[in-house]
Amino acid sequence: MAEPHTHIAALVQRYANGRSIKEIERAAGLNEGALGYYLKPSSTGRKQRVPRLDVMERFEQALGAPLDEVSQAFVRDAQFDTGESFSAAEIDLIHRFRELPDCDQKRLLAIVESFEQHPYRATARQC
């Protein structure tokens, strides 16, 4: 699975359940590109704008994602300061962690603590 380059792409990846954006659009009764347009990086290099509410509601309905999650992804991609500075990968990791049962969350935290206690400094070539 490719690493998402935007917060909205990470959100789509998280809720897509293996479906392509075209399959999601078709299942939601949307025209091709209705959602995909917002996943394309800007060719001009400008900051992205936060879309209108009706666009965010299309994402909400097509993905089954909460509207606040959809809006936050767009806000972060527009580079507004939301008080958090997480990358799309970090947000994806947080959501995946939250989906784990409590016992698995505790196991994962123990693994992280182990890494903190015994740091291994990998070189760029090793990563």
Asked if residue 53 belongs to a domain, the reply is: yes
Asked if residue 81 belongs to a domain, the reply is: yes
Tell me how many domains the chain contains: 1
Q: Note the pTM of the prediction, 2 decimals.
A: 0.58
Distance CA 48, CA 75 (A): 9
Asked if residue 94 belongs to a domain, the reply is: yes
**Cβ(49)–Cβ(78) under 8 Å?**
yes
pLDDT at position 2, please? 60
Asked if residue 51 belongs to a domain, the reply is: yes
Asked if residue 107 belongs to a domain, the reply is: no
Asked if residue 114 belongs to a domain, the reply is: no
**Cβ(4)–Cβ(88) under 8 Å?**
yes
pLDDT at position 3, please? 67
pLDDT at position 107, please? 94
Mean pLDDT, 10 residues at a time, over the chain (127 residues)?
77 91 92 86 57 87 90 82 66 82 92 82 66
Asked if residue 109 belongs to a domain, the reply is: no
Asked if residue 105 belongs to a domain, the reply is: no
SS3 50: coil
Residues spanned by the domain of 69: 7-100
